[in-house]
A and B are shown apart, each in its own frame.
Chain A
Amino acid sequence: MIHDYDVIVIGGGLTGLRAALCISEAGLSVSLLSKVHPLRSHSVAAQGGMNASLGNVKGENGIEDSWKIHAYDTVKGSDYLADQDAVELMCREASATVIELEHMGTVWSRLENGKIAQRPFGGSGFPRTCYAADHTGHSALNALYENVMSNEINIFAEFFVTSLIIDEGCCIGCTALEIMTGEVHGFHAKAVLLATGGFGRVFNKSTNALINTGDGLALALSAGAMLKDMEFVQFHPTTLYGTNILITEGARGEGGILLNIDGEQFMERYAPNTIDLAPRDVVARAIEQEITDGRGFEGGFIHLDLRHLGSDRIMERLPGIRQIAMDFAGIDPIEDPVPVQPGQHYSMGGIDTDINGQTNIPGLYAAGECACISVHGANRLGGNSLLETVVFGRIVADKIIKDIEIIISKNDEVVENAMITANKMIKNILQRKGNEHLFNLKNKLAYTMTNKFGIFRDKKNMEEGLFEIKKIQEQIENVSLQNKDRKLNQALIRFLELNGMILIAEVLAKGAIARKESRGSHKRIDYPERDDIDFLKHTVVSIKDKQMYVSYKPVHLGLFEPKERVY
C-alpha cells in the first residue's frame, strides 16, 4: 500500500508532534509515523524541566536573566563546541516556547504570584528551569498530543520505518513495516522529517526508554546523510542504582547533595563554586572517580541525600522521584539517601543538519535528539533538551513549509521498488538459519559500549571496543530468529534495531578514537586537555561504498570566544 502526503514526520515525541502540528496548521497534508503510540515516546520521561530566561525568579543580587546569559551558559556548558548561531536562536525562542506550551494546556508549576516557577539547574547562573513538578515531559507531551488529536493529523502508530527512499539524490519518502500486520507500506512525500530521538540503548547502563535505539540515525546514515559529533555522549550523574532510571538534576536543584561512603560532600573538591550543581559531565566524572578511588559503596554507587529538604518539599517538588525510589529501589528519600551512579542519558551528536534542520539530502530534515543542529556541543545542560525539541520542532517545520513549494517529487515506481527491497530484506531475515543469538549480541554490544566508550576513555580500550563492534557486525549475519511470523514479530523489530545500533556504535567509536583531546563529555585519559588548535571542530562521519569516512566541519563561533571552562 502506498500513502501520499506532503510531509512525513517520523517520530511521535515532542519534536515530531510539534512539527506535525505546525505543518498541519499551514494547510499541508502530514502524517506521523512512530514505532510506538506517541504517548509512549521517551519525551514522556523527561523530568526536570525546560530552560527559558523568563526572569520570573530573580538571580543572585537581583540580576535579571536574559537570552544572552542563557546562551553563554549553554555555550560554556558545551565546552565551546556548540554552534553559537543555533544556540542564540534557541535561547531567543525559549520564553515564547514555554508560553506556547502553556497555551496548549501544559500545567507548569507556579510561584505564589501565579507565574511559571523556575528552579536552578546545573551549569546555569540563574533559576531558569521551568518545570511541571518532576514530570515536565509528561505534561508537555500530553498537551501537544491533545492538540495533534484535535487537528486530526494522521498517525501511523506502531509502524517501524525500514528505509528512506532516495530518488535522484532527494528524499521522497520511506518504507515502513506495520508491526501488527507485518505488511510493508510505502510513504510518498515531498519532505521527510526525522524526529526519532536518541540512541541510549546502545549502552547497557542508560536512563533511556528501551525503545531508544537510534533508528533514525541509522536510517539517515544508510541513506547518505552524515552523523555529527557522535562521540559526545552524556552520562547523567544520578541514575538509580540497579535500574538506572533517571533521578532528575532537579533533585540537586532543590538542594539535594551527593555524599561518598565517608559521608563527605565530595563535589566541593571537584567544583568549589557550583558544588553539586556543576554541569553533568563534571559531576559524572567526579562520581566515577570517587567510586574508582574506593570511596563509593559496594556495587559502585554513591548517595544522593534529600532528607534535609523535609517531607513537604520532597512531596511537592519531587513526588515522582520519591515514587521511583520507592518502587524500584525500595527506598523512601524522606527517610534514606538514594543510591545513584552515572549512566548514559543523552546523545549530543546526531544527524548533521544546518540551523534549519536540513540535512545534506534535499527533502530530508532532522530535529530533536536524533539531530545535531548543534546546540549542545560536547555537553548538554539540563533543561536544554526539552527546549530544543519544541523550538526546533517548530523551526524545522517552518523551513519545510517554505521549502515544499520548490520541492517537486513524484515517482511511484521508486517507492514500489523500495517496498520490494524492504520486503525481500524482511523475508531474508526470517529465513536465516545461523547459530548466533540476537539477544546475546545485543547485550554484548551494550556491554562493550559502556566499558570501552564510557566516562573515561583511552586509545587502547577504544580500539579494543571497535574491534569488538566489527566482530558483532559479522556475527549478526548469522543470527536466526525463532519467530518466523510476519505479524507482530517483536524479535524481528529488535533485530532491525540492533542492525542500526551496530552502525551507530561504529560511528561513535571512530569519532571518539580520532578526537585526541578531552572536551565536555569526551574525556580521554591519554589526552586530558582540550585542544582548540586541532579539535575546535565538529566530527562528521559518512558512508560511501560501504566505507566509513571521518571528516571535520568548523564550529560557528561569534558570540563568545572560547576560554577555559571552570565551575
Chain B
Amino acid sequence: MKIKVYRFNEKMDSPSYDTFDLEPKPGMTVMSALFQFQEKFDDSLSFHYSCRGAVCGTCAMLINKVPRLACRTQIESLLKGNLKVPIFPYPAIGKTISWDPEKEVLVEPLPHLPVIKDLIVDMDLFFKFYRFIEPTFKPVDFNSDEEMIMYPVDVKKLQVYTNCILCAACFGGCPIVGQNPKYLGPAALAKLYRFHIDPREAEGISRLKIADIPNGWWACESYGNCFKVCPKGVPPIKAIEKAVDKLNNSKKSI
C-alpha cells in the first residue's frame, strides 16, 4: 500500500504530495506510517505527535478527507473501507488530488487553519476562540477547605463535554468555520456549554451570553460534522442546540 502525504513549506509556491510505499502490519496507525516515512524516506516531514494514545489531541489531520487523529486511525481499517464517516461535504475536503482509497491513504493538514509546514497547522485562531469564551471555572459561594457537593448524574452530563481534547478535528470539519473565519467554532462553544451546565457554578444564563453574538451560537447551521468527526464522541451540535433554545426561551420570557 501507499501513503500519500501533503508537503508544503514556505519556500514552495504551492503544495505537493509525496508517496511512500509501506507494508501495512496489523495495528499499524497513520501515525506509525508517518514515523516510518520520516525515518526511512525523508526526515524533514513534519507533523505533531505526543501521546500516541488518542488522549492529547495534538495529531488531528485530514485523513482520506475526514478530520481524524493520526494516532488512532488504523491503516488496515481505512483500506478495508471500515472507517467511512458520512460527513456533510464542504469546500476544504473537495478534490485536491486523486487517490485510490483501497490502496492508498491520503494524509493532509487539518482544514481551516493556516499550514505552517507539511501537516502542521497554526492553531492560534482555534485557541483564540477558546480563550474568548473565558474557559475558567467560576464557582459561587464555596468554602475553600471543603469539596463542593455534586451528584453522579450531573457528573455524567458534564463528562460528555469535558471529554473534549481540543484537537480541533471539529474545527477542521465544520462547513461554517470554512465560510466564516470569525465563527467561534464547535469546540469553543461546547467548552462554554460545559461551564454553563456545571452545577457548581450558579451563573444561570449569563455564561451563554458570552457567545450570544452573530459569530457565536447563532452561526451554527446544524450540519453535525462536529459530532461525527469527534474522536471522543463529544456532541458540540447538541450543546449549541440547547444553548440556542435556552437563549430563545429567556428572550421570550422577558
Residues of A at the B interface (CB closer than 8 Å) are 36-37, 39-42, 44-45, 54, 96, 98-99, 102-105, 107-116, 132-133, 135, 138-139, 142-143, 146-147, 149-150, 180, 209-211, 242-243, 245-246, 320, 323-324, 327-330, 438-439, 481-483, 485, 487-491
Contacts and interface: CB of A to CB of B under 8 A. Distances in A.
B215 interface: no
B56 A99 contact: no
A485 B44 CA distance: 8
Given A115-B149, A146-B135, A149-B131, A210 B52 contact: yes
A328 B53 contact: yes
A491 B42 CA distance: 10
Given A37-B123, A42-B51, A210-B50, A103 B116 contact: no
Given A104-B137, A147-B136, A243-B27, A324 B53 contact: yes
25 contacts: A37-B123, A39-B165, A40-B48, A44-B165, A96-B145, A98-B147, A99-B146, A104-B137, A107-B158, A110-B152, A110-B155, A115-B147, A116-B147, A142-B162, A147-B136, A147-B137, A209-B51, A323-B54, A327-B72, A329-B27, A439-B38, A481-B43, A485-B44, A487-B117, A490-B38
A243 B44 contact: no
Contacts of A327: 54, 72, 74
SS of B interface (majority):
loop
Interface size class of B (residues with CB under 8 A): 35 or more
Contacts, number: 149
Contacts of B53: 45, 209, 243, 245-246, 324, 328
B134 A150 contact: yes
A209 B52 contact: yes
Contacts of B146: 99
- Leading 3 A-B pairs by shortest Cβ distance: A105-B137, A114-B149, A483-B44
A38 to B, nearest CB: 11
Given A103-B144, A243-B53, A37 B136 contact: no
A327 B83 CA distance: 12
B54 A324 contact: yes
Nearest to B72: A327
Contacts of B74: 327
Contact of B43 (A99, A111, A147, A482): A482
Interface string B201-242: 000000000000000000000000000000000000000000
A126 B227 CA distance: 40
B166 interface: yes
B19 interface: no
- Most chain A CB atoms below 10 A, which of B42, B51, B52: B51
A491 B44 contact: yes
A104 B144 CA distance: 11
A320 B159 CA distance: 12
Contacts of A209: 50-53, 56
B8 to A, nearest CB: 11
Contacts of A242: 27
Given A323-B54, A482-B43, 6 more contacts: A39-B56, A39-B57, A40-B58, A138-B165, A180-B116, A320-B55
A243 B52 contact: yes
A499 B231 CA distance: 35
Contacts of B162: 107, 132, 139, 142
Contacts of B49: 210-211
A133 B44 contact: no
Contact of A107 (B42, B58, B72, B155): B155
Contacts of A109: 152, 155
A200 to B, nearest CB: 12
Interface string B153-175: 01100110011011000000000
Contact of B147 (A42, A102, A329): A102
Contacts of A488: 46, 116-117, 120
Contacts of A42: 50-51, 56
Interface string B51-76: 11111111000000000000010100
B11 to A, nearest CB: 9
B150 interface: yes
A150 B135 CA distance: 8
B85 interface: no
Contacts of B44: 482-483, 485, 489, 491
B117 A40 contact: no
Contacts of B137: 103-105, 143, 146-147
Contacts of B142: 103
Most buried by B among A40, A102, A138, A211: A40
A430 to B, nearest CB: 12
B21 interface: no
A135 B58 contact: no
B51 A44 contact: yes
A314 to B, nearest CB: 15
A104 B198 CA distance: 12
A138 B161 CA distance: 12
A17 to B, nearest CB: 13
A320 B53 CA distance: 10
A116 to B, nearest CB: 5
Given A45-B53, A114-B149, A105 B136 contact: yes
Contacts of B166: 39
B38 to A, nearest CB: 7
A512 to B, nearest CB: 27
Contacts of A110: 150-152, 154-155
A37 B58 contact: yes
A329 B74 CA distance: 10
B136 A146 contact: yes
A559 B150 CA distance: 36
B18 interface: no
Given A107-B158, A243-B27, A40 B51 contact: yes
Nearest to B76: A330
Contacts of B159: 107, 133
A109 B74 CA distance: 31
B102 interface: no
B89 interface: no
B81 interface: no
B135 A149 contact: yes
B167 to A, nearest CB: 10
A329 B43 CA distance: 29
B39 interface: yes
Given A39-B166, A109-B155, A146-B135, A45 B56 contact: yes
